């Protein structure tokens, strides 16, 4: 069953998470974790989000993000999308 569509609004708080396929690790080492945090920080700055908390696990992560503007969908995509 697919999850329900996310409702977006200015000032919304969102729990974002992603998991590796078949519970596989998504980071190879601490350098990968640092790169992820750097890319995440750039995305947060670009979108003017606020990040209140994050948790990096071997095979997934959790983020608590506030969007002062209703700009989560379509903007999140890949952390590598900085256009």
pLDDT for 2? 73
pTM exceeding 0.85: no
* Token pair recorded at residue 14: 């969102």
Question: Is position 39 within any domain?
Answer: yes
Single out the residue of 45, 47, 20 nearest to residue 32, CA to CA. 20
How many domains is the chain partitioned into structurally? 1
* Token pair recorded at residue 2: 């697919």
Question: Is position 3 within any domain?
Answer: no
* In 10-80, beta strands by DSSP E: 12-19, 50-56, 60-67
User: In terms of residue numbers, what domain contains 22?
Assistant: 12-67
pLDDT digits (tens, 9 = 90+) for 54-65: 999 999 999 999
pLDDT for 59? 95
Question: Is position 34 within any domain?
Answer: yes
pLDDT for 68? 93
Q: Is the pLDDT of residue 52 over 80?
A: yes
Question: Is position 29 within any domain?
Answer: yes
Question: Is position 82 within any domain?
Answer: no
Tell me the CA end-to-end span of the chain in Å, nearest whole number: 33
């Amino acid at each position: 069953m697919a999850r329900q569509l996310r409702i977006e609004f200015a000032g919304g708080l969102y729990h974002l998470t992603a998991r590796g396929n078949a519970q596989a690790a998504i980071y190879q080492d601490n350098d990968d974790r640092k790169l992820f945090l750097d890319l995440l920080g750039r995305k947060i700055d670009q979108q003017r989000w606020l990040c209140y908390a994050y948790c990096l696990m071997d095979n997934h992560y959790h983020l608590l993000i506030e969007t002062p503007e209703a700009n989560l969908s379509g903007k999140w995509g890949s952390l590598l999308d900085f256009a």
